[in-house]
């Protein structure tokens, strides 16, 4: 059985897009490694909700605690990707 239920990222990404520059909690994870992997996947746009890659920044907070948290903020599409 899975330790964590599947997390729906669409509403989290939508909230971040509606609050540009503000940090939004993605969730807590079972360990530092899983939190770091999730943060990297978000930054690189591996989830459709967080595309295009580089439109979101991530932070892992509380890495010394039992359940580190992943936070995300929308920073927009880089000018070169937007065709500017």
Mark residue 75 as left, alpha or beta (left: phi above 0; alpha: psi -120 to 50; beta: remaining).
Answer: alpha
Q: What predicted TM-score, i.e. pTM, was given to this entire model?
A: 0.82
Rounded to the nearest integer, the mean pLDDT of the chain is 85
Asked whether the beta carbons of 50 and 60 are under 8 A apart, the reply is no
Q: For residue 26, which of 66, 78, 67, 77 has the smallest C-alpha distance? A: 67
pLDDT band, residue 21 (cuts 50/70/90) = very high
Query: What whole-number distance in Å separates Cα of residue 48 and Cα of residue 56?
Result: 12
Confidence at residue 6, expressed as pLDDT on a 0 to 100 scale:
46
Per the structure block, which two tokens stand in for 21? 């520059």
Q: Is residue 55 pLDDT above 80, yes or no?
A: yes
pLDDT band, residue 77 (cuts 50/70/90) = confident
């Amino acid at each position: 059985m899975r330790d964590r239920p599947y997390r729906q990222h669409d509403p989290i990404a939508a909230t971040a897009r509606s609050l540009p520059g503000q940090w939004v909690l993605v969730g807590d994870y079972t360990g530092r490694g899983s939190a770091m992997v999730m943060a990297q996947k978000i930054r690189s746009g591996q989830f459709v909700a967080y595309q295009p890659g580089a439109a979101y920044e991530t932070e892992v907070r509380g890495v010394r605690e039992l359940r580190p948290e992943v936070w995300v903020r929308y920073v927009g599409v880089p000018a070169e990707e937007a065709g500017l």
